[in-house]
Structure 1
Amino acid sequence: MFDTLSCRSATESSVHVPLAGEAMAAGAISLCSSESGASTARPRRPCAALPKWRLKRVVDHIEAHLGEPITLGDLAAAAKLTRMHFAAQFRVATGLRPHEYLLRRRIDEARRLLLDESLSIVEIALTVGFQTQAHFTTVFGRFVGETPSRWRRAQAAERKPIMAPRRGGERTEILSSCSLS
């Protein structure tokens, strides 16, 4: 059923690689090592972090284009690196993949916009760069733990005016504190 390809090294030890057909023979020959069947792959060098000046360029690009589609290629071009080199260095520098960072930034901006009750949730979703309200709601729920409408209602309840008594029997409105994190 399977053919076997044998490669002999300089020390005459052999490596047997099972093949599913002749089409794989060329690839299997490259698997044979020149020394005792041992792998010649070098250990990976640790990736350096993205330099601060490149990171600033990428963050500035994200801020300037937050409501638009942003690709890995766009971010890599802003950093003047290849996509894969940029992605690896960005992750070392921030601890997040570029896409994860972009989504978090969009959700942070959405939380700020949700405090303005004159904007609809779909308007906010489109403003911060999501293509649909459904995708926005899914991502928002993953990062915040509740839907945008529930989060908005909870924030409104925290900011709701409290009537406090004053001298002379008058009542005045006091806004309760609201923290944005």
Structure 2
Amino acid sequence: MSLEPMTPAAVAGFDHVIDLDAGALPELIAGLLADARAAARQDRLAAERRVREAVELVQREGKRLLDGVRPMPLTGGLAPWQVRRVDAHLAAHLDAPVKVSDLAALVRLSVSHFSRAFAVSYGGGAREHIIQRRLDRARQMMIETNEPLGQIAAACGFADQAHFSNRFRRAFETSPLAWRRLHQRGQEPSIAAADAAFA
């Protein structure tokens, strides 16, 4: 069946439904289509009019409903006390292995629930966050101390200096030694030589 553009009179026939809520829309459309099916046996023009009304209603009200959708605020994150507990635990244990299951137990959540809530609160996964915290601490130590990179790697919970260097390069696109030389002044030559041997 070919649908012709609706006349202003036909549109006016169902303008009273502009303030529909989403729950009433399917029932109204079903009613229009049922009327169209019933009218098709007796009056083909009336049937076409009802189908056009249904199409127009879907287009108009669907757009209105979609335009009214607002992004929902983020929910489902960790409670403030849980965030504080996780942050304190990470600060105290970055030099040792930190398991996601241990963090979940610390805040009394299952691992899957904790992982989802953590991602909402921190904007990413727990493992990535732990690595970033370790790298942040390592950069601070490289600036503030003269410790060799191997000792810094161990103090920040990396398996060894190679693991640390690999993660550092991925995050900052430079080696730890090059970064340290750029940011630390007055470094003792023996420390620089020790770092260069392992970079």
TM-score bracket, normalised by the shorter chain, equals 0.5 to 0.7
Is 1:130 equivalent to 2:173 in the alignment?
no
Secondary structure of the residue that 1:102 maps to in structure 2? helix
Aligned residues: 113
- Deviations, residues 131-161 of structure 1 (Å, cap 9, x unaligned): 11111111111112211000011113xx46x
Residue 118 of structure 1 and its aligned partner are, at CA, apart by 2.4
Report the Cα distance in structure 2 between the residues aligned to 1:49 and 1:118, rounded to whole angstroms: 39
Residue 47 of structure 1 and its aligned partner are, at CA, apart by 6.3
Residue 117 of structure 1 and its aligned partner are, at CA, apart by 5.3
Secondary structure of the residue that 1:115 maps to in structure 2? helix
Of Structure 1 and Structure 2, which has the larger fraction of its residues in strand?
A: 1
Is 1:99 equivalent to 2:99 in the alignment?
no
Identity between Structure 1 and Structure 2 (%) = 35
User: Structure 2 regions of 5+ residues with no counterpart?
Assistant: 1-73, 187-199
1:144 is matched with which residue?
172
TM, length-normalised to structure 2: 0.54
Is 1:70 equivalent to 2:93 in the alignment?
no
Instruction: Give the 5 Å matches for 1:19-168.
Output: 48-116=76-144, 118-156=146-184, 159=185
Residue 80 of structure 1 and its aligned partner are, at CA, apart by 1.1
Conserved? CA contact 1:47–1:88, under 8 Å = no
Change (3 A) 1:55 1:117: closer
Larger Rg: 2
Change (3 A) 1:154 1:50: same
Of Structure 1 and Structure 2, which has the larger fraction of its residues in helix?
A: 2
Report the Cα distance in structure 1 between the residues aligned to 2:117 and 2:108, rounded to whole angstroms: 12
User: Relative contact order, CA 8 A, sep 6+: which one is greater?
Assistant: 2
Report the Cα distance in structure 1 between the residues aligned to 2:166 and 2:79, rounded to whole angstroms: 33
Runs of 4+ in 1 over 2 A off after TM superposition: none
Report the Cα distance in structure 2 between the residues aligned to 1:82 and 1:58, rounded to whole angstroms: 14
- Deviations, residues 48-99 of structure 1 (Å, cap 9, x unaligned): 1111111111111111111010001111111111111101100011101000
Secondary structure of the residue that 1:109 maps to in structure 2? helix
Report the Cα distance in structure 2 between the residues aligned to 1:60 and 1:117, rounded to whole angstroms: 23
User: Structure 1 regions of 5+ residues with no counterpart?
Assistant: 1-45, 161-181
Report the Cα distance in structure 2 between the residues aligned to 1:89 and 1:76, rounded to whole angstroms: 10
